Amino acid sequence: MSISGTHLLDERWQFSAEKKGLSISLCGLKNSCQIQHVAIATVLKHMKCFLKLHVCWNRFAVWCALLIVGLSCYQAASRPMGPWRDSPRNVILIIGDGMGLAQLSAAAYSQKRSMHWESMPVVGFIKTHAADNLITDSAAGATAFACGCKTYNNAIGMDSLGRACTNLFELLEQRGSCTGVIATAALTHATPAAFLAHQPHRTRYYAIAKDIVHSGVDFLVGGGLQYFTEREDGQNLKDSLRHQGVKVCTYEDGGLSWALMRKAHRFAWFAARNHPSAAELGRSYLASAVSLGARFLARCAGDRGFMLMVEGSQIDWGGHANDLHFILREIQDLDRAIGAALAFAQADGHTLVIVTADHETGGMSIPPPSRKRRIAEAFSTNSHTATMVPVFAYGPGAEQFGGIYDNTALQHKIAHLLGL
């Protein structure tokens, strides 16, 4: 299936005939009614018979034919929904932190070429609010994605009552699937941490690092080395990872490459002591990390499948700074990663790719006198907002991600499709 194609197009059938000025037309939606081809042929056959009747029976024939079709539609629609028509083996979830519709629009209007996410055939919208606040933070937003429950701002993998909630990675690990996280911030930062840790507050970076060591995750790429090696408790968690069979490399070992991970069963690469640099300052590992990560996890998992969470972390930072140039460079970097994920999914045929955001940052708009490749942006805040954010999906099961729903539903849909 082509990335630019869509499998959600409605198909129409139309039958028309004219007899003494009378025109009869029958239209139906195949996807919504799911009428069998045999039933269609039967209906048309009966209609032709009806039309052979005397003109005085024409109106009666029309109503009878429509009644047959209506009953067929009703019977098909009233059947309980079975398993999804297509279920993915693997999921790549890509989160643009703070990436709202205005930021995406500005990125699209600033480019001569189309962005990769524009080719994804299914689009939906997510309501982002937290349990205790209409305006979420990244911790509560990512916990909703990971655990499927609303929680309070600042919570990492905890529900609104302060209890640890089971996340998607833990469910996958229980059945022998493989998991991975890639971020352009420290791995202990809110969004990646929500998939790997359980802490009451997002700033407990050293405790989050210890949770990551015990999480069982198979592939890690991001910053935050200091929280593993420069600890007040004297522990060297890099050594702890190695004792668990994880091959640990850092920016001091060179750039990320397949050669580093080729013989590893589990792998971690720390891109920076704290946060990696910005895209505009030369950070460039994200797209290659996605390609390598998907390849690594596919080998690791085999038929058991994998889930890879990818965060474009620093889009949010540009929103807080009301810096459009910074935002655009980060979205362009993330879009290259989306392209890498889509290329893997198209070749693999069993991988669902989802692109979304945890919230919007900056209250950004595109007012006059903006024009293509010359955006005159405006910001209403240097914080987060409560506006809905888009969801894009491609691959088996993608049709489940259209519509408008809470951020918690994203986890429920992924879990259902993966049979968790």
Tell me: do 257 and 359 sit in the same domain: yes
d(CA 124, CA 25): 33
Which residues, including other chains, have CB under 8 Å from residue 399's CB and lie 6 or more apart? 7, 8, 122, 393
Tell me: do 108 and 51 sit in the same domain: no
List the one residue out of 141, 121, 111 whose CA is nearest residue 345: 121
Tell me: do 67 and 120 sit in the same domain: no
Tell me: do 342 and 382 sit in the same domain: yes
Tell me: do 192 and 54 sit in the same domain: no
Q: Is residue 375 a contact partner of residue 109, using CB atoms and an 8 Å limit?
A: yes
Tell me: do 66 and 111 sit in the same domain: no
Mean pLDDT calculated for residue range 126-139: 98
Mean pLDDT calculated for residue range 206-211: 98
pLDDT band (50, 70, 90) for residue 86: confident
pLDDT over threshold 60, residue 307: yes
d(CA 124, CA 30): 22
Tell me: do 137 and 162 sit in the same domain: yes
pLDDT band (50, 70, 90) for residue 85: low
Tell me: do 39 and 172 sit in the same domain: no
Structural domain that includes position 247: 90-417
**CATH number, domain with residue 183:** 3.40.720.10
Task: Select from 55, 78, 101 the last residue of a domain.
Answer: 78
Query: What is the number of structural domains in the chain?
Result: 2
Mean pLDDT calculated for residue range 105-132: 96
Instruction: Indicate whether 98 belongs to any domain.
Output: yes
d(CA 3, CA 10): 18
Instruction: Indicate whether 5 belongs to any domain.
Output: no
pLDDT by residue (tens digit) across 336-386?
999 999 999 999 999 999 999 999 999 999 999 999 999 999 999 999 999
Cross-strand pairs, 92: 308, 353
Instruction: Indicate whether 83 belongs to any domain.
Output: no
pLDDT band (50, 70, 90) for residue 396: very high
pLDDT by residue (tens digit) across 37-63?
434 444 444 444 444 434 444 454 444
List the one residue out of 397, 286, 342, 410 whose CA is nearest residue 120: 342
From residue 267, alpha-carbon distances to 6, 134, 264 in Å are: 36, 38, 6
pTM for this model (two decimals): 0.81
pLDDT by residue (tens digit) across 268-278?
999 999 999 99
Tell me: do 127 and 20 sit in the same domain: no
Tell me: do 175 and 143 sit in the same domain: yes
Tell me: do 289 and 367 sit in the same domain: yes
Tell me: do 50 and 107 sit in the same domain: no
List the one residue out of 168, 266, 268 whose CA is nearest residue 218: 266
Mean pLDDT calculated for residue range 235-239: 96
Residue with more model confidence, 258 or 17: 258
